[in-house]
Amino acid sequence: MTRIGVYPGTFDPITYGHLDIINRSLPLFDEVIVGIAVNSKKTSMFSMEERQELIRKSIPDTSKLKISTFSGLTVDFCLEIGAKTIIRGLRAVTDFEYEYAIALTNKKLALDVETIFFMASAENSFISSTIVKEIARHGRSVESYAPDVVNEALIKKFQNQQNK
């Protein structure tokens, strides 16, 4: 049986915090799927295709890692592809409260799907895609928080918005 873990998120854009969770989860699974979710509550800066490309250019080159997109519930996506584990990262206590409620709900919806949590590394504990976008929006580099390809994409995105 193949052990598949799903790391869901909007990844708008991917950060070093996300990459840390991906790299730390790889040894635990035969396959890790980075699942880019359509989140009806969020307006994304990058299109689904742009997010896929930024992730592809940022992740380690390994056959164990796949990128996929999905809409709807993460737990339903897991059931659809045969994954038994949802991978989540925790930065702070506030993340825990939110993630704990979702994990309990997912467990009720699918008894066979577990959620595992990775504590953010100290150097990544404050990074979020929202913070990264806000820094870039004000013309500052995000190279300390996200891969170069993301920094370049954000610069280009904000320059295009200013030129309109």
The pLDDT tens digits along the chain (164 residues) read 789 999 999 999 999 999 999 999 999 999 999 999 987 777 899 999 999 999 999 997 889 999 999 999 999 999 999 999 999 999 988 889 999 999 999 999 999 999 999 999 989 888 999 999 999 999 899 999 999 999 999 999 888 776 66
Centre a 10 Å sphere on the Cβ of residue 18 and count the other Cβ atoms it contains: 24
Structure tokens at 43: 């307006």
Q: What pLDDT score was predicted for residue 163?
A: 67
SS3 25: helix
Catalytic residue, from 18, 51, 88, 133: name it: 18
Structure tokens at 48: 């689904």
Centre a 10 Å sphere on the Cβ of residue 104 and count the other Cβ atoms it contains: 11
Catalytic residue, from 56, 91, 107, 157: name it: 91
Catalytic residue, from 42, 137, 140, 156: name it: 42
- What residue type is assigned to position 116 of the chain? I
**Catalytic site residue 18?**
yes
**Catalytic site residue 157?**
no
Which residues are within 8 A (CB) of 27 and not within 5 positions of it... i.e. 6 or more apart? none
Q: What pLDDT score was predicted for residue 43?
A: 85
**Catalytic site residue 25?**
no
Catalytic residue, from 51, 58, 88, 129: name it: 129
In angstroms, how far apart are the furthest CA atoms of the chain? 53
d(Cα 158, Cα 160) in Å, to the nearest integer? 5
SS3 154: helix
Instruction: Give the pTM.
Output: 0.93
